[in-house]
Amino acid sequence: MKNVEKCAAQGDVVFRKVSAVPDGFSRVERDGRLVVAHSETGHHHAIDDTGVTEYRSPDPLRCYLVFESAEHAEVTHHRSFDTHEALCLGGGIGAIWEVIRQREWAPEGWRRVED
């Protein structure tokens, strides 16, 4: 597992520590596993640790994680083969992490990266 304090990527997802959740993002009620990035093949990037709250907007490529009662959060890539290394996002209680799905340019325009 890789310990992260500022910025890291796990496949097509980038995690970046920030100072605040921007306006326009709403708290998402959590029921079990927090999937921060759904995968087209079912190998989601997810957090099982409690104490982390997700904030989303209509933008499907960005969300925020707030550590309300967690010191850190482990992001796991749920696939049994060719998996990405787990990340341990740090920062302590009150830390805020931006989660960004990467994009790439194609002849038809911008599209989400799929790994």
pLDDT at 1: 84
Q: What is the pTM for the complete model shown?
A: 0.83
pLDDT at 67: 95
| CB-based contact 96:55 (threshold 8 Å) | no
pLDDT at 40: 64
Low-confidence ranges of the chain (pLDDT < 50): none
pLDDT at 45: 79
**Bridge-partner residues for 2, per DSSP?**
87
Distance, CA of 115 to CA of 111 (rounded, Å): 13
| CB-based contact 73:89 (threshold 8 Å) | yes
pLDDT at 101: 83
- Read off the tokens for 94: 């009150």
Distance, CA of 44 to CA of 5 (rounded, Å): 22
